[in-house]
């Protein structure tokens, strides 16, 4: 049976200016691939392609042309099974488009599972929760502290703060204030610098931050710098690589052996889709490198798929999957965040898309 597909675009509006060290965002655009068998359009799979502006490899003006080409090639596919989906996607999506890979993997896996927004049929689909961190966005001290108190009152025991966009001394004052109120035994703090520190002053800043009992810090300097290897070996705070992994799917083993971070953070939209994230995890485990999975500002469609992928693994630390409430016009879904966990309540409640 031949496949048919379309893609369409939606823009999602943030509830606030989402600030990172790369600047503020007011909205985020995603493209959705919808796939069905020609004989039955009522049963379809859907996947989200949402490259991050200024970060993703496929944040390009030619993206829609690539999506059109992929849909044409998909018409030549006559038989899909879960066992061959990754191979099919690898054949029809050109290299350098991880968000397209993620979208097509999701759509085809969804279709193969009956078109019910079940991408991986595991415990998450049946209601088992996943622990997540509470994300605190950059802003002035009052805004960030307000978010911290809200997240902790909501039951989060792991808080992740974006750093690097405001004065470093002010950020230290915020962390000091948090630690005066919340002890490390009760609240875990993670930081994400998005490459904001310079290679020259990164170790000094990491030493200054270490007095606040930080669990880890993501990407302290920009990717591709020789200094990262030294920083990972000498930092008093465990280093988690994120942007460093972008476009490095072809040499996972060499990269991890050379830099040997304490953690890697995987975003299927950015780091090669589900198949490559699976391979990243396998390499990390071989080298005793920790990992967790994070969404990349997808809508609930992409977030649902990433949660189900995460649930394929034994998860014992909070994941970065709490971004479902950031949009005013997100797609309605059975996902909810409760007391520091994300769960799915009724998979059949998804709307028509």
**What's the distance, Cα to Cα, between the start and end of the chain in Å?**
23
Average pLDDT over residues 110-123: 95
174 sits in the region (left: phi over 0; alpha: psi -120 to 50; else beta) called alpha
Model pLDDT, residue 84: 92
Q: Say whether 162 is catalytic.
A: yes
Burial classification of residue 125, based on how many CB atoms lie within 10 Å of its CB (0-12 exposed, 13-18 middle, 19 or more buried): buried
What's the full length of the chain, in residues? 353
> pLDDT category, 347, cuts 50, 70, 90?
low
Chain segment 12-22, per-residue pLDDT in tens: 999 877 766 56
Model pLDDT, residue 287: 97
Chain segment 55-73, per-residue pLDDT in tens: 899 999 999 999 999 999 9
Model pLDDT, residue 23: 67
Q: Which two tokens stand for residue 131?
A: 């622990």
Distance (Å, rounded) from C-alpha 58 to C-alpha 269? 10
| pLDDT at residue 78 tops 90 | no
Model pLDDT, residue 239: 98
Chain segment 177-213, per-residue pLDDT in tens: 999 999 999 999 999 998 999 999 999 999 999 999 9
The residue from 34, 160, 205, 267 that is catalytic is: 267
Lowest mean pLDDT among 92-101, 178-187, 242-251, 318-327: 318-327
> pLDDT category, 1, cuts 50, 70, 90?
low
Q: Following DSSP, what letter does each residue of 147-202 receive, concatenated?
A: HHHHHHHTT-SEEEEE-SSS-HHHHHHHHHHHHHHS-TTT-EEEEE-TTBB-TTTH
Report which of 150, 177, 147, 173 is spatially closest to residue 161, judged by C-alpha positions: 147
Chain segment 290-340, per-residue pLDDT in tens: 999 999 999 999 999 999 999 999 999 999 998 778 899 999 999 999 999
Give the global pTM: 0.95
Chain segment 205-220, per-residue pLDDT in tens: 999 999 999 999 999 9
Model pLDDT, residue 141: 81
The residue from 28, 151, 160, 162 that is catalytic is: 162
DSSP state of 317: S
Model pLDDT, residue 42: 86
Q: Say whether 267 is catalytic.
A: yes
Mean pLDDT over all residues of the chain?
A: 93
Q: Give the burial string for 86-104 (b: 16+ CB within 10 Å, else e).
A: bebbeebbeeebbbbbbbb
CB 308 within 8 A of CB 125: yes
Average pLDDT over residues 104-113: 97
């Amino acid at each position: 049976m031949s496949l048919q597909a379309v893609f369409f675009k939606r823009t999602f509006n943030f509830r606030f200016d989402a600030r990172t060290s790369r600047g503020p965002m007011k909205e985020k655009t995603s493209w959705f691939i919808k796939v069905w068998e020609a004989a039955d359009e009522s049963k379809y799979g859907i996947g989200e392609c949402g490259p991050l502006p200024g970060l993703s490899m496929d944040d390009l003006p030619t993206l829609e042309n690539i999506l059109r080409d992929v849909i044409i090639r998909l018409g030549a596919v006559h038989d899909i099974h879960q066992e061959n989906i990754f191979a099919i996607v690898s054949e029809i999506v050109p290299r350098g488009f991880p968000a397209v890979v993620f979208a097509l993997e999701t759509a085809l896996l969804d279709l193969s599972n009956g078109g019910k927004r079940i991408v991986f049929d595991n415990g998450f689909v049946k209601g088992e929760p996943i622990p997540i961190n509470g994300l605190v966005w950059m802003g002035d001290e009052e805004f960030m502290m307000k978010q911290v108190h809200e997240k902790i009152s909501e039951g989060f025991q792991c808080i992740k703060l974006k750093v690097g966009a405001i004065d470093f001394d002010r950020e230290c004052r915020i962390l000091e204030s948090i630690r005066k109120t919340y002890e490390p035994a009760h609240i875990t703090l993670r930081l994400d610098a998005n490459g904001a520190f310079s290679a020259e002053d990164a170790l000094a800043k990491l030493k200054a931050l270490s007095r606040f009992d930080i669990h880890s810090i993501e990407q302290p300097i920009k990717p591709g710098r020789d200094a990262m290897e030294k920083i990972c070996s000498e930092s008093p705070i465990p280093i988690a690589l994120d942007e460093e992994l972008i476009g490095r799917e072809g040499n996972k083993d060499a990269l991890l052996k050379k830099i040997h971070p304490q953690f890697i953070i995987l975003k299927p939209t950015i780091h090669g889709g589900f198949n490559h994230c699976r391979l990243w995890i396998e390499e990390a485990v071989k080298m005793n490198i920790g990992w967790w999975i994070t969404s990349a500002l997808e809508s609930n469609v992409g977030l649902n798929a990433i949660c189900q992928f995460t649930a394929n693994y034994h998860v014992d630390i909070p994941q970065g999957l709490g971004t479902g409430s950031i949009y005013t016009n997100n797609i309605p879904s059975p996902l909810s965040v409760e007391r520091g966990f994300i769960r799915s309540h009724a998979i059949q409640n998804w709307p028509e898309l």
